[in-house]
Chains A and B, each alone.
Chain A
Amino acid sequence: MGLTDHFPVLIIVIFFIAAFLSPLVYRLARKFSAALILAVLTAALGMAIFLLLEVQQAGTVLYHLGGWPPPWGIELKADPLRLYILLVVLSVSLWIFIYALRDLHHELKKRVIGWYYTLYAVLVGSMSGIVLTNDLFNLFVLMEICAISACAIISIKEDRECLEASFKYLILSAMGTGCFLLGVVMLYMATGYLNYGFLQVELAEAFNYYPRNIFTAAALFIVAFGTKAALFPLHVWLPDAHASAPSPSSAMLSGVVIKIYAFALFLMFYEVFPRELLATIPLNEIILWLAGLGTLFGSIYAMLQTDLKKMLAFSSIGQIAYIFMGIGFNHDLALIGGFYHIMVHAVTKGMLFMVAGVIIYSTGIREIKDLVGIGRSLPITMVAFAIGGASMVGLPGTGGLISKWFLALSALEIGRPVFVLIILASSLLNAVYYMPIVINAFMQQEETKIEFKPVPRVMLGCMVAGIVVVVVSGFYTTPVVNLLEQSLALIF
């Protein structure tokens, strides 16, 4: 076996190796510690691209860890869809990490920066694992790692607010994983398998004997992943956690982490539970309505916020609901929309949290009402905010429109135009809270003079990259949409 055959596991493992090395490197050769994580992220990205090209040619790759075949061994699966998600995760993580290099020195104490790199590597590694794994127990372990490292990159700021928020997150997240474990146990009882592929085959039969167990497991999964991904009304932990964290952590958590769980729920529904099961109980319907309410309520809550980062966090609740809506429609167009939105929202929300970070870095302002006139001193930053806001609203020329287009189209396709109205209503609500900030930032004269610290070029560069991706994703969609069509064809 050549090295390239081990890529699926290497993508995960190198992050954990880097995580172990990072504190050491930070102590011995401080200059190289950031470079190490950068190198690992780039290497993982390269491997993911290589795998994607290979998978597109040779078909899905199944990797057996340690040579143990399933159902006993751990199996990793690399199909186009997972690799797409992996690519989004890795490239957005890399992008946010570059931004974090400058921002962290401002927000964190010097002695913890090395640890931050460690936690970052663990977080990205565990997310890659969640995406690639094909085994429920392995998924559980990785979810725990992911939750704990996510908690840690919130609480690393070491102020009261962060500790409180991360504690809240820890408890609710533990509840989520608890539900998940319970569900896994029920499925294991009914079938004796943990591997997705085996489960799907076996569940179809076991369903006749243990329908209640399996229904309960499905319900538990919805609660588990719903909590983790902040599906309305299980979102209560998110605003505090995402708003109080250091800005790169917020960007990471809001931009990437919650989507991983939405994707995991998708895998449960399409790769673990047999299709007939979904037909017998309205699981989709439940998700759909929760998502519909989420898009509206997320926006309504966001309108009421006075803190910029809190507003962005609430907006994430509305946006993640679009992705759940994509899952709930049970239609390939909707899934394209949902998965496209995973990418668009990862970039957009990442960029918006960067903007919030730059504003805090430069002026120390967090309150929305203090942002009046700030666009004259931070033009690029506020242009990024304007474009990000436009993408959230779904204005033409931004990626947000494309995902909404697919979602709305599939709502019409399955004959439920009411969901188009929900999507449009939530767009309008988004406009109501994003627009005034942009307008005030540029138009009105500032009354009190704010002190500005010059913004490092790297941070500006990251935001400009974000702007470019958001705009390009609104026009040049062919490669991503083709990839998604191709990968969903394997599932439907």
Chain B
Amino acid sequence: MSPSTVIAMLLAIIGLPILMTPVIMYSCRFSEKLRNLLSVATASIVFILSLLLYPFVIGGGEIQFTLFEVLPNLEISLRLDILSFCLAALASFIWLLSTIYSINYMATEHACSRYYPVLIFTLGACQGIFFSGDLFSLFVFFELMSLIAYILVIHEETEEAMKAGYKYLVMTIIGGLALFFGIIIVFELGGTVSLGVGVIIQEVSTLAFIAFICFLIGFGMKAGMFPLHVWLPDAHPVAPSPASALLSGIMLKTGAYGLLRVIFHVFSPEMLLQQGWDNILGVLAVITILLGSAVALTQNDIKRRLAYSSISQLGYVLLGFSILNSNAIIGAVFHIFSHAFMKSVLFLAAGAIIWKTGKRQVSDMKGIGRQMPVTLGCFSIAAFAMIGIPPLNGFLSKWTLALGALDANMPIYVLVLLISSLLNALYYLPIIIPAFFEAPGETSPDSDAGHDEIQFDIREAAPAMVAVMVVLALCTIIFGLTPNNIAFTLSRLTAEFLLLGGAF
């Protein structure tokens, strides 16, 4: 593939959803079917285009292309390398599935003429983040996505949603200002913010440290890092479930992606390790992991429980970034994949339950597995993956992260991972076990019903919704069976690319 084709494709991937937004908005006037069709078609085209980049990046291709200069040395530019490919492909895949899922899920909801255009627009902005060639464009797309996603968060327009949305908005703006501060310091120190020049900040200085902290605030906010996670458990559960899946599964990762770019392209891992700045990230990651899991235990609302679980899972990714050796980075990048699959299944399954039965409280979900076996089956697979049971992908990421921790001579991190796995088990199993092994409406487990045959009264969610969940659940298995799967290979190549500075 010639570079110009690749650039055209990148532009199409970012531009198509954004251009389709008004079209979809307009098509709402004619028919709902057309609107749904256009949304799914756009998402699929973006997914296919992203996949088509595969041969280029796997051959070691790397592209940095300036679209135009906003200010001298400050440009809007595109970049394609293996890291951006991984996230873009992942994002467009989950997006496609969520869009398909939305068709049934949102059929009974209000204001769909707002939901679909926004959903597709955020896809474009999100791909823009991954294909940004410099921090400034990344910042532009990052803010664009975050601000537009606000509309997804407050979709229900309940008082609770508005409150959560306001919190989300204020935190997003604080994060954006922190990023602005960080980027301007980088520009001042290095004269450029391009990601294509290798390491921008060579020397250690107070300003450089301030910039690092600013990036940590700006991107860490998005990734739900302690102590900036406060918006997340409110904002993710109130959104419609497919949007929650995207918020937790993909949009959180943009924060992690940003940090990865900053660590490897603005600073250098050697510098962070030398200065001990990685410890800041490490400590925060450990707190994030443990706190997220611990608080998840106390939540009764299933989506809130999942949101807290997201916080702790993103902590794994941050932990990988703080260890900064080959295995840890592979684990972290692979966990971005794993968590995207697992958490989307969980949110979509929770959504299916809410859609079908209206139940949100974990305590009400007894026996629901007899009603919706496939949904709960997918939920269980993803939950087992979260706990880290082999042969699921969660195990593989934890294994690799733990190897990385041992390589770095930090067995304490392994302990943290194990404790968190235990906590994961503690808050996921009490959903799954009563769902299958207790009859609906049963008050105590030792009543007479135990002797009866288990009655399956199957009332599953819509076929398309179930199909989406099954596909995602299969992914958690496929990408966990052996380390010779495509996601793991890509993670490995990404880590090599990042650590060896470009050469495979």
Hey, which chain A residues are within 8 Å of B143, CB to CB? Answer: 395-397
Q: Is A296 an interface residue (CB 8 A)?
A: no
B210 within 8 A of A: yes
Known interface pairs A409-B184, A439-B166, A444-B157; A477-B173 also in contact (CB < 8 Å): no
Residues from chain B with a CB closer than 8 A to the CB of A443 are 154, 157, 162
Complex: how many Å from CA A445 to CA B154? 13
Report whether B70 and A475 are in contact in the complex, using a CB–CB cutoff of 8 Å: yes
B321 interface residue, CB < 8 Å from A? no
Residue B180 interfacial (CB < 8 Å):
yes
Q: Pick the contact of A428: B154, B173, B184 (CB < 8 A).
A: B173
Contact A393 B173 (CB under 8 A): yes
| Cβ contacts under 8 Å, A395 to chain B | 143, 147, 176
**Chain B contacts for A481, CB-based, 8 A:** 71-72
| In contact, A396 and B144 (Cβ under 8 angstroms) | yes
Q: Which of B71, B140, B174, B185 contacts A477 (CB 8 A)?
A: B71
Contacts of B72 in A (CB 8 A): 481
Contact status A417-B144, CB under 8 Å: no
Is B413 located at the chain interface by the 8 A CB criterion?
no
**Residue B280, interface by CB 8 Å:** no
Judge if B56 is at the interface, Cβ distance under 8 Å: no
Among B68, B71, B166, B173, the residue within 8 A (CB) of A405 is: B71
Contact B71 A412 (CB under 8 A): no
List which B166-215 residues lie within 8 A (CB) of chain A: 166, 169-170, 173-174, 176-178, 180-181, 184-185, 187-188, 207, 210
B165 at the interface (CB under 8 A from A): yes
B139 interface residue (CB < 8 Å to A): yes
Closest to A407 in B: B184
Q: Does B70 lie within 8 Å of A397, measured CB to CB? A: no
Q: For chain A residues 390-404, which have a beta carbon within 8 Å of chain B?
A: 393-397, 401-402, 404
Whether B448 is near chain A, meaning CB under 8 Å from some CB there, is no
B453 within 8 A of A: no
Best-buried of A401, A404, A432 by chain B (most CB within 10 Å): A401
Q: Would you give the 0/1 interface string for A412-427, flagging 1 where the beta carbon is closer than 8 Å to chain B?
A: 1100010011001001
Size bracket, chain A contacts:
20 to 34
Q: Which listed residue, A396, A397, A409, A436, touches B188 by the CB 8 Å rule? A: A409
Q: In the bound complex, how far is the Cα of B154 from the Cα of A477, in angstroms?
A: 34
Asked if B472 lies at the interface with its beta carbon under 8 angstroms from chain A, I say no
* Docked CA distance A404–B143 (Å): 16
Task: Give min CB distance, B49 to chain A, whole Å.
Answer: 24
Shortest Cβ distance from A436 into chain B, in angstroms?
8
Cα distance A436–B166 when bound, in Å? 8
B76 sits at the interface (CB 8 A) = yes
Cβ-defined contact, B157 with A402, below 8 A = no
Indicate which residue in B136, B178, B207 contacts A417 across the interface (CB closer than 8 Å). B207
Interface of B is mostly: helix
Confirm or deny: A478 has a beta carbon within 8 angstroms of a beta carbon on chain B: yes
In the assembled complex, which residues on chain A have CB atoms less than 8 Å from the CB atom of B144? 396-397
Q: How far does the alpha carbon of A388 sit from the alpha carbon of B170 in the complex, in Å?
A: 18
The yes or no answer to A408 lying at the interface (CB within 8 A) is: yes
Highest count of chain A CB atoms <10 Å: which of B72, B162, B188:
B188
Is there a chain B Cβ closer than 8 Å to A13's Cβ?
A: no
Indicate which residue in B68, B147, B180, B207 contacts A424 across the interface (CB closer than 8 Å).
Answer: B180
Nearest chain-A residue to B142 (Cβ)? Answer: A396
| Interchain CB contact under 8 A, A432 and B170 | yes
Instruction: Determine the distance from Cα of A108 to Cα of B193 in the docked complex, in whole angstroms.
Output: 52
- Whether B446 is near chain A, meaning CB under 8 Å from some CB there, is no
Of B139, B157, B165, which is within 8 A of A396 by CB? B139
| Cβ B162 vs Cβ A444 within 8 A | yes
Known: A395-B143, A402-B70. A417 touches B210 (CB 8 A): yes
Asked whether A431 lies within 8 Å of B173 as measured between CB atoms, the reply is: yes
Q: In the assembled complex, which residues on chain B have CB atoms less than 8 Å from the CB atom of A436?
A: 166
Which residues on A sit within 8 Å (CB–CB) of B184?
Answer: 405, 408-409, 412, 420
Contacts of B178 in A (CB 8 A): 424
* B452 adjacent to chain A (CB < 8 Å): no
Residues of B within 8 A of A421 (CB): 181
Does the CB pair A424–B140 fall under 8 Å? no
CB neighbors of B among A378-397 (8 A): 393-397
CA distance A421 to B185 in the complex (A): 12
- Bound Cα distance from A345 to B344, whole angstroms: 44
Q: Mark A453-478, 1 if CB is under 8 A from B, else 0.
A: 00000000000000000000011111
Is the CB of A435 closer than 8 A to any CB of chain B?
yes
A409 to chain B: which residues have CB within 8 Å?
Answer: 184, 187-188
Cα distance, A396 to B134, chains bound together (Å):
14
Total residues of chain B contacting the partner, CB 8 A: 33
Q: A432 — which chain B residues lie within 8 A by C-beta?
A: 170
Distance to closest chain B CB from A392 (angstroms): 12
Report the minimal beta-carbon distance from A299 to chain B, rounded to whole angstroms.
13
CB distance from A93 to the nearest CB of B (A): 28
Question: In whole Å, how far is A282's beta carbon from the nearest beta carbon of chain B?
Answer: 24
Q: Give A425's nearest chain B residue, CB to CB.
A: B177
- Contact status B173-A412, CB under 8 Å: no
Whether B71 and A402, one on each chain, are in contact in the complex, defined by CB atoms closer than 8 angstroms, is: yes
- Distance (Å) between the CB of A409 and the closest chain B CB? 6
| Bound: A427/B140 CA distance, A | 16
CB pair B177 A428 closer than 8 Å = yes
CB proximity of B380 to chain A, nearest CB, Å: 37
The residue in chain A whose Cβ has the minimal distance to the Cβ of B165 is A439
CA distance in complex: A474, B174 (Å): 20
* Contacting residues of chain A (128-148) with chain B, CB-CB under 8 angstroms: none
> Are A408 and B181 touching (Cβ within 8 A)?
yes
Which of B72, B165, B176, B210 has its CB near the most chain A CB atoms (within 10 A)? B176
Which parts of B122-153 form the interface with A (CB within 8 Å)? 136, 139-140, 143-144, 147
Measured between beta carbons, the chain B residues less than 8 angstroms from A397 are 140, 143-144
Q: Evaluate contact between A424 and B177: CB separation under 8 angstroms.
A: yes
Chain A residues in 8 Å Cβ range of B187: 409
Known: A396-B139, A409-B188, A477-B71. A435 touches B169 (CB 8 A): yes
- CB of A412 within 8 A of CB of B140, answer no
Distance between Cα atoms of A81 and B210 in the complex (Å): 36
Q: B47: shortest Cβ distance to chain A, in Å?
A: 26
Q: Which residues of B are found within 8 Å of A412, using beta-carbon distances?
A: 184-185, 188, 207
Decide if B177 touches A396 in the complex (CB within 8 Å). no
* A431 proximity list for chain B (CB < 8 A): 169-170, 173
What residue of chain A has the Cβ atom nearest to residue B178's Cβ?
A: A424
Looking at the assembled complex, report how far the CB atom of A265 sits from the nearest CB atom of chain B, in whole angstroms.
26
**CB proximity of B475 to chain A, nearest CB, Å:** 34
CA distance A427 to B181 in the complex (A): 12
Residues of A near B71 (CB, < 8 A) are 402, 405, 477, 481
Q: Which of B34-76 contact A (CB under 8 A)?
A: 68-72, 74, 76
Closest Cβ–Cβ distance, residue A414 to chain B (whole Å): 11
- How far in angstroms is the closest Cβ of chain B from A358? 23
Q: How far is the CA of A23 from the CA of B143 in the complex (A)?
A: 51
Q: Which of chain A's residues has its CB closest to B169's CB?
A: A435
Residues of B with C-beta under 8 A to A445: 157
- Shortest CB-to-CB span from A405 to chain B, Å, is 7
A405–B74 alpha-carbon span in the complex (Å): 11
Contact with A along B408-434 (1 / 0, CB 8 A): 000000000000000000000000000
B residues apposed to A, CB below 8 Å: 68-72, 74, 76, 136, 139-140, 143-144, 147, 154, 157, 162, 165-166, 169-170, 173-174, 176-178, 180-181, 184-185, 187-188, 207, 210
Q: Shortest 9 CB-CB distances between A and B: which pairs?
A: A396-B140, A412-B188, A424-B177, A431-B173, A408-B184, A396-B143, A396-B139, A427-B177, A477-B71
16 A-B pairs (CB sep. < 8 Å): A394-B180, A395-B147, A397-B140, A397-B143, A401-B180, A402-B70, A412-B207, A413-B188, A417-B185, A424-B177, A424-B178, A424-B180, A431-B173, A444-B157, A476-B68, A478-B69
A405-B180, A408-B181, A428-B177 are known; give 6 further A-B pairs, CB within 8 A. Answer: A395-B143, A397-B144, A428-B173, A439-B165, A476-B68, A477-B70
